[in-house]
A and B are shown apart, each in its own frame.
Chain A
Amino acid sequence: MHPLRKRRLILIIIMIIGVATATGFALTAFNQNLMFFFSPSDVQAGKAPENRLFRMGGIVVDGSVKRSDTNTDVWFDITDNEKAMTVKYSGILPDLFREGQGIITKGKLNAKGEFIAEEVLAKHDENYMPPEVAATMKKKPTEYIKE
């Protein structure tokens, strides 16, 4: 083969192998690591997967936060103004976690249907509402007077 052709062919093969491997990695990683977002109503309706991490968001219900006095366990309810879910978390909550605040948690459902959170996220602005949470807040057909 002509040396120039040969060189091109080799380069193209290298590129294809590289891109194919990377795509393979990306797709498997995607399948394992995509995390869906559900509202407490979705979870109560059984839409959330079992034994798989997902994210759940809502507003922390007033007066629902209970802390253990002997270890770092904490329980609280989050709601989308329709259904509420109890979340259990072991560890330190973020600085801006508080009642009435919109938050997102990441975790799994256990056999009893409780949500065991691995991570609790509250953003750095107390007037901030995560867009995912805002979008799922008790969505009902509503009409705007002004279109």
Chain B
Amino acid sequence: MLKIKFLLPLIAFVLLVALLAAGLSNDPRKVPSPLVGKPAPYFELPRLDDPSVKFNPQMLKGKVWLLNIWASWCVACRAEHPMFNQLAKQNIVDIVGFNYKDTNAEAKAWLRQLGNPYSVVVTDQKGLVGFDYGVYGVPETFFIDKKGIIRYKHIGPISYKDLNEIVIPLIKELRAEK
């Protein structure tokens, strides 16, 4: 014999679960980047290998390129780094390393240890330009097309799966555009 009053706790719990499930589906990481669809913000930053030489995005106009935000203190960057090494070997895209809130010595040591997949590495020690790019957390990777428009932003480390399912197809797609 079931009495309704003993079912009440269960009913209340089902409602609570529905609420928690709804809360869970609001993934805080699905933040659309306001920059997607807009020109990559202009900057001029010193190169890691020679701080007296500056780099700006105009130099890559007409090419598809990636802007990878990384830092030597970021462990997730270490996890995604082999993916960039692999991507660099394919020679289909220029990867610009954006060294964020780091010191040059540590950044250089890091690249010596893990390999350097970047066409060029720029340094933003104070994180001032990173602010223009709305950097929330490191690593982040921006995909920029031939017209200099940001087309996609990847938040968090790129996994092997991301590399093959998102990164490479997207690069090929962008390269095929005029």
Contact = CB atoms under 8 A, between A and B. Distances in A.
Direct contact of A and B (CB under 8 A): yes
A110 interface: no
A139 to B, nearest CB: 7
21 contacts: A81-B134, A100-B126, A100-B127, A100-B128, A102-B136, A127-B136, A128-B137, A129-B136, A131-B28, A134-B28, A134-B136, A135-B28, A137-B31, A137-B134, A138-B34, A139-B32, A139-B34, A142-B37, A143-B36, A145-B151, A145-B173
A139 B137 CA distance: 18
B172 to A, nearest CB: 12
A59 interface: yes
- Most chain B CB neighbours (cut-off 10 Å) among A102, A129, A138, A146: A146
Interface string A38-77: 0000000000000000000001001000000000000000
Interface residues of B, number: 22
Please list the 9 inter-chain residue pairs (A to B) with the smallest Cβ-Cβ separation, ordered nearest first.
Answer: A138-B34, A131-B28, A129-B136, A127-B137, A142-B36, A100-B131, A134-B31, A142-B32, A145-B152
Contacts of B127: 100
B121 interface: no
B171 to A, nearest CB: 11
Contacts of A81: 34, 134
B122 interface: no
B85 interface: no
Interface of A: 59, 62, 81, 100, 102, 127-129, 131, 134-135, 137-140, 142-146
By secondary structure, the B interface counts as: loop
Contact of B166 (A128, A139, A140, A146): A146
Contact of A100 (B130, B138, B151): B130
B163 interface: no
A144 B152 contact: yes
Contacts of B134: 81, 137
B33 interface: yes
Given A145-B151, A145-B152, A146-B166, A62 B137 contact: no
A131 B28 CA distance: 6
Nearest to B37: A142
B88 interface: no
A139 B37 CA distance: 13
Contacts of B170: 145-146
